[in-house]
Amino acid sequence: MTTVQPIEEPAGPQPADRERADDPPGVPDGFERLWTPHRMVYLLGEDKPVDGDAGPQCPFCRAPGRDDAESLIVHRGALAYVVLNLYPYNPGHLMVCPYRHIAGYPELTDEEMVEIARLTRTAIAVLTEVAQPHGFNLGVNQGAVAGAGIAAHLHQHVVPRWGGDANFLPIIARTKALPELLFDTRERLAAAWPG
Ligand SMILES: [Zn+2]
C-alpha cells in the first residue's frame, strides 16, 4: 500500500497551475497533478462485465468486498457507498452507488434514493472543503446508450469542475491518473468525510 505524503493545505487547483507542463512528478500537493501524463497501472482493470450479472465480475459489486484503500472507497453508508472513479472525468470524480446490483433509477427503494441523495450532498461538501471546485456536474448515465460504462449497476457521478477545466478534456481523454495519487485523493476525501 502506498505511503501518503504529508500534504500542505491545498490552495485549490487554478487553471494556471494546471497549465504548467514542467511540474516534477511525485509531489502531490493538489488534485491537478492527477493529470501528469504517465500511463497508469490498472488496479481494477478495464474489466467491463461480460454481462449484466451481479457478483464479482461487476466492479460496483466487487468494490465493497475489498478494503477502502484498495477499492478507492471514500465512505460506506448503510445502503450505498462513495467511491473514486478509477477513470475520472476530472480530479476528485466520485460515484455514489447502491450496494444492490440494479440498473435503473426507478428500481431504487425510497431508502436507497434518500441515502444516495444524502451521500451526494456530503460528497459535494467534502470536495468543496478539500479541493474548492467552482462547480459540480451531477448525473446518472442510465444505459449504455446514455454513456454508462457499467450500465448494469446504477451509479451517480459527482464531478467537481473548475473554471477552464474543459480546456483539458483532450488531455484527460489521452492520459490516465496515477493510482498512487488516486490513493492520496481517497485518503484526503475519506479524512474530510464527516462522522
Ligand atoms: Zn453490481
- What pLDDT is stored for residue 120 in this prediction? 98
Instruction: Please report which residue ranges of 132-193 form alpha helices under DSSP H.
Output: 169-174, 179-192
**Domains of the chain with CATH codes:** 15-42+60-192 (3.30.428.10)
Beta-bridge partners for 66: none
Q: Measured in angstroms, how far is the CA atom of residue 23 from the centroid of ligand 1? A: 38
Neighbours of ion ligand 1 (CB under 5 A): 54, 58, 60-61, 101, 153
Q: Measured in angstroms, how far is the CA atom of residue 92 from the centroid of ligand 1? A: 22
- What pLDDT is stored for residue 71 in this prediction? 92
**Selected residue with higher pLDDT from 6 and 90:** 90
Q: CA–CA separation, 129 vs 137, rounded Å?
A: 17
Q: Measured in angstroms, how far is the CA atom of residue 102 from the centroid of ligand 1? A: 7
Annotated catalytic residues are: 155
Pick the most confident of 56-60, 122-126, 182-186. 122-126
Q: Measured in angstroms, how far is the CA atom of residue 53 from the centroid of ligand 1? A: 7
- What pLDDT is stored for residue 20 in this prediction? 47
Pick the most confident of 26-30, 84-88, 184-188. 184-188
Q: CA–CA separation, 59 vs 41, rounded Å?
A: 17
Measure CA of the first residue to CA of the last residue in the chain; give whole Å. 25
Instruction: Give the pLDDT band of residue 181 (cuts 50, 70, 90).
Output: confident
- What pLDDT is stored for residue 51 in this prediction? 75
Residue 176 in this model has a pLDDT that exceeds 70: no
Q: Measured in angstroms, how far is the CA atom of residue 89 from the centroid of ligand 1? A: 21
Instruction: Classify burial at 195, counting beta carbons within 10 Å of its beta carbon; exposed 0-12, middle 13-18, buried 19 or more.
Output: exposed
Grid look-up 451521500 returns 119
Per-residue pLDDT reduced to its tens digit, 57-69: 899 999 999 999 9
Q: Are the beta carbons of 13 and 162 closer than 8 angstroms?
A: yes
Other Cβ atoms less than 10 A from the Cβ of 24: the count is 7
